[in-house]
């Protein structure tokens, strides 16, 4: 899917003092299938940008077009459906549900179709090396395994765009690299657009384009 952001601004209202201006006139276009790394210092606005591009939050002003659709003209219900249908998310924290098994966690985004999606869930879990763990609970897994489940969950709806916000920031370097490699492989094979926030220079180097965000602005 093609993503276009036009004149995005995001302000947070503060109890004391002026509004906090977090994104300042961000303009960007990500063609279908492109892999983008978002880099920049902590607090620069990377997560805020990914939340808006991923339709989880609305900008204060500006527009996001996904495949030409002016998304923020739509109501929350429409945005929610668009996310469910087309977008996969992977965060630094796995957000797995503690009382659900590995297999059930992967099926959460497609719960209404969980029976028909089960074989695909098993296929992805096999691909991420967790076939033997499908009936385990999240707290029976290592941090790297938990993040592999989150990766599998982000793929269950066949997303056209994957947003990954420092997905391996909490993991040991070697384990992190394995997961990043899997993410890249899936994104390539499934021909998704990938927007990845990372501090990992090597990984950023492998993307089609690196966008630096500094103090809420894109820096070329
Ligand atoms: N919900 C929020 N309410 C108020 N301020 C926020 C909120 N989310 C983020 N911020 C502020 O916005 C700025 C950018 O945050 P963030 O997008 O998380 O940066 P990054 O991901 O680049 O580290 C920070 O100053 C942060 O404190
Ligand atoms: Mg962040």
Report whether 20 contacts 12 (CB < 8 A): yes
Average pLDDT, the chain: 95
199: pLDDT strictly greater than 90: no
Q: Given the CA of residue 216, which atom of ligand 1 is nearest to it?
A: 14
Report whether 34 contacts 89 (CB < 8 A): no
pLDDT of residue 96: 97
Taking the centre of ligand 1 as the mean of its atom positions, its distance from the CA of residue 48, in whole angstroms, is: 6
For atom 4 of ligand 1, the residue with the nearest CA is 12
Ligand 1 surroundings by CB, under 6 angstroms: 12, 20, 22, 40, 42-48
Sheet containing 3-12: give its strands across. 20-30, 3-12, 61-66, 69-70
43: pLDDT strictly greater than 90: yes
pLDDT of residue 80: 95
- Give Cβ neighbours of residue 40 (< 8 Å, ≥ 6 apart): 46, 212, 213, 214, 219
Closest CA to 142 of 109, 166, 178: 178
Between CA 162 and CA 151 the distance in angstroms is 10
Q: Given the CA of residue 42, which atom of ligand 1 is nearest to it?
A: 23
Report whether 150 contacts 96 (CB < 8 A): yes
203: pLDDT strictly greater than 90: no
pLDDT of residue 202: 84
Model confidence at 28, in pLDDT bands (50, 70, 90)? very high
Provide the CATH number for the domain around residue 148. Answer: 3.40.50.300
Closest CA to 199 of 210, 187, 188, 209: 210
For atom 8 of ligand 1, the residue with the nearest CA is 48
Taking the centre of ligand 2 as the mean of its atom positions, its distance from the CA of residue 119, in whole angstroms, is: 34
Question: Domain of 186?
Answer: 3-219
Question: What angle in degrees, to the nearest 10, is found between the helix axes of 114-127 and 143-155?
Answer: 130
The CA-based angle 143-132-183, given to 5 degrees, is 50
Taking the centre of ligand 2 as the mean of its atom positions, its distance from the CA of residue 57, in whole angstroms, is: 14
pTM: 0.94
For atom 3 of ligand 1, the residue with the nearest CA is 12
1: pLDDT strictly greater than 80: no
- Give Cβ neighbours of residue 208 (< 8 Å, ≥ 6 apart): 34, 35, 36
Say how many Å lie between the first and final Cα of the chain, rounded: 23
How many domains does the structure of the chain reveal?
A: 1
Closest CA to 124 of 154, 161, 101, 92: 154
Taking the centre of ligand 1 as the mean of its atom positions, its distance from the CA of residue 127, in whole angstroms, is: 34
Taking the centre of ligand 2 as the mean of its atom positions, its distance from the CA of residue 61, in whole angstroms, is: 21
Ligand 1 site-directed mutation target among 8, 13, 20, 37, most atoms within 8 Å of CB: 20
Instruction: Read off the tokens for 43.
Output: 């607090």
Q: How do residues 46-80 score in pLDDT, each as one tens digit? A: 999 999 999 999 999 999 999 999 999 999 999 99
């Amino acid at each position: 899917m093609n993503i276009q952001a036009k004149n995005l601004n995001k302000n947070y209202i503060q109890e004391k003092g002026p509004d906090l201006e977090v994104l300042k006139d961000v303009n960007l276009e990500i063609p279908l299938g492109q892999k983008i790394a978002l880099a920049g210092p902590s607090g620069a606005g990377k997560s805020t940008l990914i939340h808006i591009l991923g339709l989880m939050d609305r900008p204060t002003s500006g527009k996001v077009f996904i495949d030409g659709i002016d998304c923020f003209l739509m109501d929350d219900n429409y945005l929610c459906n668009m996310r469910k249908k087309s977008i996969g998310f992977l965060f630094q924290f796995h957000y797995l549900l503690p009382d659900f098994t590995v297999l059930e966690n992967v099926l959460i985004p497609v719960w209404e179709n969980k029976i028909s999606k089960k074989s695909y869930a098993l296929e992805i879990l096999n691909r991420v090396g967790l076939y033997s763990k499908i009936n385990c609970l999240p707290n029976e897994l290592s941090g790297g395994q938990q993040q592999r489940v989150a990766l599998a969950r982000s793929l269950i709806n066949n997303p056209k765009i994957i947003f990954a916000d420092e997905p391996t920031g909490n993991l040991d370097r070697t384990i992190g690299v394995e997961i990043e490699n899997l993410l890249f492989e899936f994104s390539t094979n499934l021909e998704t657009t990938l927007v990845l926030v990372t501090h990992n220079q090597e990984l950023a180097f492998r993307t089609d384009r690196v966008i630096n965000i500094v103090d809420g602005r894109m820096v070329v």
